[in-house]
Structure 1
Amino acid sequence: MSKAFASTGDLNAKTVSFTELAPGAYAYTAEGDPNTGVIVGDDGVMVIDAQATPRMAEDVIAKVRTVTDKPVKYVLLTHYHAVRVLGASGYGADHIIASRDTYDLIVERGQQDYESELGRFPRLFQAAETIPGLTWPTIVFDNRMTLFMGGKRVEIMQLGRGHTKGDTVVWLPDDKVLFSGDLVEYGATPYTGDAYLEDWPHTLDRLAELQPRALVPGRGDALTTPELCREAIRGTRDFLTSMYGSVKQAREQGADLRNAFARTREVLQPRFGQWVIFEHCLPFDVSRAYDEAGGIRDPRIWTAERDREMWEALQG
């Protein structure tokens, strides 16, 4: 019997936390659901990752209004995935910021990703009918930009490929607070279906060099000590290297994708099986790892149809 597809069986509501990490820096987290970061500057607010729908953005705004009445001026997209970006219109921001690589991914596969993720995460797309369409940046940057929100300096950087080719982090150097997007997870399984697995560990090394004091991961609790930040970066790297190493070895030994998946699941289950969305992510993770180990450098586009075909092939 097939397992329930992706996260279609996950229907339980999560408890939201809104945590202050430094003056004017907050984490909106929800027990392993996608996180949102908030920066309050002198004259406005930046929201980092927008949630999946404008309706879901309303809850983020409600939390923001508990600490400030300043307008949301910026929405920053750490990457292009639908659960992170399609709620952007709900904030009424002056600008939506993304890396050029993220913009290119929206052009190339934004609609397919929307349809794919809507099928995988129905609970995360509350009131999907409120989504007006794809989210398009109004400011696109190459590699790095600095934004001054009054006296608060915000560094927006691409430090390397990993979760996608467009990954962007937000760094508050004065407070040593890092918003990592899905480059770092904490107690949650990294999704690597659109990843660059050879690059990702090196990108994590560059994040570690910042020596963050606090960190908002893509999923999982807000991290409020340097020790927890190091633990999250190390745990993400351990999952990636273990998963990719297992798949690469299986492929080199002539295993087909289904066999590589079974072998890799057996290797990872004891250490990572309790992490959030482990069963959801692993088939997508192994599929991408199998491609990359076979020389397919750039991730293939996931469509709703490809999702189901892959799931049945590996989990059926």
Structure 2
Amino acid sequence: MTVLHEIASGVHVLRHPVLDVNATLVVGGEAALVVDTLSTPGQAQDLLAAVRRVTHLPLVVVNTHHHFDHTFGNMVLAAEGAPIWGHEEAAALIGPAQRDRAVLEHPDLAADLACLTPVPPTRLVRTTAELDLGDRVVGLRHYGRGHSVGDLVTLVPDADVVIAGDLVEESGPPQFDDAYPLEWPDTLAALLLDLNPQTQVVPGHGAVVGPRFVTAQHEQLAALAWLIRDGDQDGAPAERVAAKSPFPQDMSMCAVKRGYVQLNMP
């Protein structure tokens, strides 16, 4: 049985075993917010059943970014009448092309992915928005580009919880396939300004963490960004720069190549 675990008053986290991805439920007085909807309709149905064991309030959805493992359950929650919020850049990237890429990259999920209809957010955020759940207001913030072009963070101030999506990764290193490695450190630095010493941070994947973990990941990302800048200035091959990275070399290679492209854009 898919189970939500309460980490603060009215804030529950589901850590799904497939890809170790998190979905979060925030319960208000008049509505409940679901942040991210997992990878497939079947996973989303299990998530919805877990949510309904906690609350029968009307639902609202937020997508932290466009990647399939956070958004491909949208169709299940949308069928419940839930409006879906997301960053405007993320919404533009959710569609059939993204589904076809996920089918190729995740053959173990291909049968469940191939026949689904991606549902993008229709309530769009550029920089900031507020959602009133009834006696509980949550904030949506785009601090900048990082893991993706449209990362959206959910703040639950009265519970001192921040839902960071893949801007923060706990169970594995940061992923750079669609990332902006030169901007990610500044985005995390801006997020850190809104954290208290006891803030609980829900990462996109893995266990709930605190500001010290986020600070350490920020320092690693900043170190990588400077390696990329120095490597570009010195004309160093990407392999040499990636070998010095605090992250695994194969992932760092992607970051270095993306950084080099960004530094040399006309």
Normalising by the residue count of structure 1, what TM-score does the alignment of the two structures yield?
0.73
Change (3 A) 1:186 1:62: same
Instruction: Summarize deviations over 1:144-194 as a string: whole Å, max 9, x none.
Output: 111111111111111222222221111011111101111111242111222
**Given the alignment of the two structures, is residue 122 of structure 1 paired with residue 103 of structure 2, yes or no?**
no
The match for 2:98 is 113
**Given the alignment of the two structures, is residue 292 of structure 1 paired with residue 262 of structure 2, yes or no?**
yes
Once the two structures are TM-superposed, the CA of residue 17 in structure 1 deviates from its matched residue by 6.5
- The amino acid that maps onto 1:51 is L
Change (3 A) 1:117 1:289: farther
**Given the alignment of the two structures, is residue 202 of structure 1 paired with residue 186 of structure 2, yes or no?**
yes
Change (3 A) 1:286 1:113: farther
Q: Please point out which of 87, 93, 101 is paired with 1:99.
A: 87
Query: Which SS does the other structure have where 1:166 is aligned?
Result: coil
Q: Please point out which of 76, 85, 91 is paired with 2:62.
A: 76
The match for 1:309 is none
The match for 2:73 is 87
Highest RCO, 1 vs 2 (Cα 8 Å, sep ≥ 6): 1
- State the percentage of identical aligned residues: 28
Change (3 A) 1:41 1:293: same
| Runs of 4+ residues deviating >6 angstroms | none
CA distance in structure 2 between the aligned counterparts of 1:81 and 1:138, rounded to whole angstroms: 16
Q: Please point out which of 137, 146, 154 is paired with 1:153.
A: 137
Instruction: Summarize deviations over 1:258-312 as a string: whole Å, max 9, x none.
Output: xx23x344323xx544xxxx85x4443333223223337xxxxxxxxxxxxxxxx
Change (3 A) 1:55 1:192: same
Instruction: Summarize deviations over 1:19-63 as a string: whole Å, max 9, x none.
Output: 312111111124662221111222332111111211111222233
CA distance in structure 1 between the aligned counterparts of 2:150 and 2:125, rounded to whole angstroms: 11
The match for 2:47 is 60
Instruction: Summarize deviations over 1:209-258 as a string: whole Å, max 9, x none.
Output: 112411111111023xxxxx1222123213322333333333333234xx
The match for 2:219 is 238
CA distance in structure 2 between the aligned counterparts of 1:17 and 1:250, rounded to whole angstroms: 46
Q: What pairs with 1:113-262 in structure 2 (closer than 5 Å)? A: 113-123=98-108, 127-132=112-117, 134-212=118-196, 213-223=199-209, 229-256=210-237, 260-261=238-239
- The amino acid that maps onto 1:57 is A
Contact 2:41 2:73 in 1 (8 A): yes
Contact 2:144 2:183 in 1 (8 A): yes
Q: Please point out which of 14, 23, 32 is paired with 1:36.
A: 23
CA distance in structure 2 between the aligned counterparts of 1:176 and 1:112, rounded to whole angstroms: 37
CA distance in structure 1 between the aligned counterparts of 2:51 and 2:113, rounded to whole angstroms: 22
